[in-house]
A and B are shown apart, each in its own frame.
Chain A
Amino acid sequence: MPTANETIERLTSQDYKYGFVTEIEEDSVAPGLNEDIIRLISHKKGEPEWLLDWRLKAYRNWQTMEEPKWSNVTYPPIDYDAVVYYSAPKQIAKRPGSLEEVDPKLLETYERLGIPLRERGALAGVAVDAVFDSVSVATTFKAQLAKLGVIFCSFSEAVRDHPDLVRKYLGSVVPYADNYFAGLNSAVFSDGSFCYVPKGVRCPMELSTYFRINAAQTGQFERTLIIADEGAYVSYLEGCTAPMRDRNQLHAAVVELIALDNAQIKYSTVQNWYPGDKEGRGGIYNFVTKRGKCAGVNSKISWTQVETGSAITWKYPSCILLGDNSIGEFYSVALTNNYQQADTGTKMIHIGRNTRSTIVSKGISAGHGQNTYRGLVQVAKKAEGARNYSQCDSMLIGDQCGAHTFPYIDVRNPSGQVEHEACTSKIGEDQIFYCNQRGISTEDAVSMIVNGFCKQVFRELPMEFAVEAQKLLTVSLEGSVG
């Protein structure tokens, strides 16, 4: 008879579903990083002078920086000169005018990933920008959104068609000198998504970007910039997958959100980059900087993330609560199985008066996974009446994994209220047997217990994706309780 351990082993060892490779001719630059490569990327994208200057400044600054060593993850040194910084399907490089001209192989890739790009077959109520390696392949529902004044397009198009907006906000939340990986991204970023929701408009559909790394040895460095003007609302979702490869691949993205007076941005991520195999070979290094600025009064930025993929995850989606009465939220589920490592959390920087923030973090460790929550709650001198509530829970599955918590709290205003709650639990054989004895199978029991643990976060996800996230979690856990 299989024990709970064996069943969970079988469950968590299920194969990564999105590991296929698309055979397509790509136009790649030579590996390595220097000013010429940056000029080449900028030239290929037909960028204006100011943007090239910004990239070069970022690069020169990056050269003076050191890779951060404070995070609770270990990996061999990255050879930044072995990375290919730009890779695009040849045909896309020539900018197809419409979806009909896009290589069917690319469309098929997204179909297989469950992201149809033909609008007729598209997910109802979701507009998608599909990014393949270094470029955006297609953006759906653009015309419909344009009628409301909503700009949703690839970053490259935004640079070309809306340079004023890009120039005004690029780097305004995450400057190129912010940190090592953001600096690298600023120098070599290739594409990404751009969104602007004008005053008073409530964006009627979910906007989403689907990131796909395909080419070997290639790093993906995309930038996302979302601006919600006064009174606007937008809900945005990001999904990611990559083929199975033995070598580690680097993904260093930057996401900047700006919410003006009374605006709201809801940003959800379902991250399922290739996590590496059971022995820890291969997988994506997901080193990402995400930050939102609640610039206006009564504005709100809400991050929700479900992190199940990547060999290493290093990201701290944060909120700068500048406007009075602004609200920041962070809801996170991070799962590490096999040899995955995650060091993730958030920063809530309270600057305005009566600013509020909520942090709910759920870490699940299975196999040899190491899961770290790292968070900062900072209440500045002038942040009269600031309030924070943090809840930070860990679940351990098996006895080879680890959970770690590093909450930093820095309160400089006596009226600030900060609460922190934490608990650690373990799925044990006794719980599994209890469920079994009531007629519930081991798979269902694990899935029920894990989903119960995460429900506070899942209910923050847009409906369609909450279901997907639950399934993803179950699949990612296949093979893990003890």
Chain B
Amino acid sequence: MPLLEVKNLHVNVGGTEILKGVDLAVNEGEIHAIMGPNGSGKSTLAQTISGHPAFEVTDGDIVYGGESLLGKKPEERACAGIFLAFQYPVEIPGISNSLFMKSALNAIRRSRGLQELDAFEFLELIKEKANTVEMDEALLSRSVNSGFSGGEKKRNEILQMAVLEPRLGILDETDSGLDIDALRIVADGVNSLRAPHRAMIIVTHYQRLLNYIVPDFVHVLNGGRIVRSGGKELALELEEKGYSWLEEEALARS
């Protein structure tokens, strides 16, 4: 049974249908890349899986770990192991980054009947994880994402993923706005989280990130549907020919 199964998913945002029947199956241990031109519905798919209230599922289903996610609150999905690395990480003034992560980790642990970590245990954990994404420890005591550079925000997302150890990590255009060094650090962080029991969905516009994180599968989303799926070579083909190639092909078929 796949870890995640998206079946004929239709999603409306503000009355407009963005996803028009998406099917996708992701097994444990796999990395899937979702590519596609701007406005194709990539971020909508990522946000819908994580339960953003603005995205309305009008048809189809999202099954995760054998259970439908529809009707589950975003925090319930998070506690079940779904993590979204945001395209635009949100600033929360007044709450330190490390308190935020501690609250999140302990909320998830509570939901699973595990003992909460105390301040010392958490400090040890967070220092170790911060190392893996080459995050300056000073950023842990600063307010969540407040005044962080673009690269620091994205690294902070990967750090949170490392701390929360999800079963399904979804990266929504994590590569956008990163210079080459930051891209490498983020990719190294993601690669270090590859594990047989963990799946990842990487949403990206460009092939560039996939030089560093090699996916098992690549899907192309266009006009609210997955128009093509393939192995990692598909990404290279797209890089060479552009998305218009697929559109022309689709036109030819119809």
A-B residue pairs in contact (CB < 8 Å), sample of 11: A1-B51, A2-B73, A423-B93, A433-B53, A436-B74, A437-B50, A437-B51, A439-B105, A441-B73, A441-B75, A453-B93
A227 to B148, CA, bound (A): 49
**Min CB–CB distance A119 → chain B (angstroms):** 36
**Min CB–CB distance A422 → chain B (angstroms):** 13
A435-467 interface with B by 8 A CB criterion: 435-442, 444, 448-449, 452-453, 455
In the complex, which residue of chain B has the Cβ closest to the Cβ of A423?
B93
Contacts of A406 in B (CB 8 A): none
A431 to B75, CA, bound (A): 13
**Min CB–CB distance B161 → chain A (angstroms):** 10
Q: Which of B53, B90, B91, B108 contacts A1 (CB 8 A)?
A: B53
B40-83 interface with A by 8 A CB criterion: 50-53, 71, 73-75, 77-79, 83
Interface size on A, residues (CB 8 A): 25
Q: Does B86 contact A (CB under 8 A)?
A: yes
In the complex, which residue of chain B has the Cβ closest to the Cβ of A438?
B104
Contacts of A436 in B (CB 8 A): 51, 73-75, 78
Given contacts A1-B53, A433-B53, A436-B73, contact A444 B107 (CB under 8 A): yes
Q: Does B111 contact A (CB under 8 A)?
A: yes
The contact string, 1 if C-beta is below 8 Å from chain A, for chain B 88-127, is 0111111100011101110110010000000000000000
Q: Is the CB of A437 within 8 A of B95?
A: no
**Min CB–CB distance B129 → chain A (angstroms):** 15
Q: Which of A429, A435, A441, A455 contacts B94 (CB 8 A)?
A: A455
A114 to B53, CA, bound (A): 40
Q: Which of A425, A440, A453 contacts B104 (CB 8 A)?
A: A440
Closest A-B pairs by Cβ, 5 of them: A452-B94, A438-B104, A436-B74, A439-B78, A434-B90
Q: Which of B53, B77, B86, B107 contacts A440 (CB 8 A)?
A: B107
A439 to B74, CA, bound (A): 7
Given contacts A436-B78, A438-B78, contact A1 B103 (CB under 8 A): no
Q: Is the CB of B103 within 8 A of A448?
A: yes
Q: Does B6 contact A (CB under 8 A)?
A: no
Contacts of B143 in A (CB 8 A): 452
Q: Is the CB of B52 within 8 A of A448?
A: no
**Apart from A431-B91, A437-B75, A441-B107: 8 A-B pairs, beta carbons within 8 A:** A431-B92, A433-B53, A434-B90, A438-B78, A438-B103, A438-B107, A440-B103, A448-B95
In the complex, which residue of chain A has the Cβ closest to the Cβ of B50?
A437
Q: Is the CB of B107 within 8 A of A437?
A: no
Using a CB–CB cutoff of 8 Å, the interface residues on chain B facing chain A are 50-53, 71, 73-75, 77-79, 83-84, 86, 89-95, 99-101, 103-105, 107-108, 111, 143, 160, 164
Q: Does A67 contact B (CB under 8 A)?
A: no
Q: Is the CB of A439 within 8 A of B108?
A: yes
Q: Which of A433, A444, A449, A453 contacts B74 (CB 8 A)?
A: A433
In the complex, which residue of chain A has the Cβ closest to the Cβ of B106?
A439
A225 to B160, CA, bound (A): 53
Q: Which of A423, A438, A442, A453 contacts B160 (CB 8 A)?
A: A438
A151 to B179, CA, bound (A): 69
Q: Is the CB of B75 within 8 A of A439?
A: yes
Q: Is the CB of A4 within 8 A of B94?
A: no
Contacts of B160 in A (CB 8 A): 438
**Min CB–CB distance A431 → chain B (angstroms):** 5
Contacts of B89 in A (CB 8 A): 434
Q: Is the CB of A434 within 8 A of B86?
A: yes
Contacts of A1 in B (CB 8 A): 51, 53, 71, 73
Q: Does A79 contact B (CB under 8 A)?
A: no
In the complex, which residue of chain A has the Cβ closest to the Cβ of B54?
A429
**Min CB–CB distance A89 → chain B (angstroms):** 44
The contact string, 1 if C-beta is below 8 Å from chain B, for chain A 1-30, is 111100000000000000000000000000
Q: Does A101 contact B (CB under 8 A)?
A: no
Q: Is the CB of A449 within 8 A of B103?
A: no
Contacts of A444 in B (CB 8 A): 103, 107
Contacts of A434 in B (CB 8 A): 86, 89-90, 92
A405-436 interface with B by 8 A CB criterion: 423, 425, 429-431, 433-436
Q: Which of A423, A439, A448, A449 contacts B79 (CB 8 A)?
A: A439
Contacts of A3 in B (CB 8 A): 53
Contacts of B107 in A (CB 8 A): 438-441, 444
Contacts of A423 in B (CB 8 A): 93
Contacts of B164 in A (CB 8 A): 438-439
Most buried by B among A452, A453, A455: A452
Q: Is the CB of A430 within 8 A of B90?
A: yes
A433 to B103, CA, bound (A): 15
Given contacts A4-B53, A439-B108, contact A453 B94 (CB under 8 A): yes
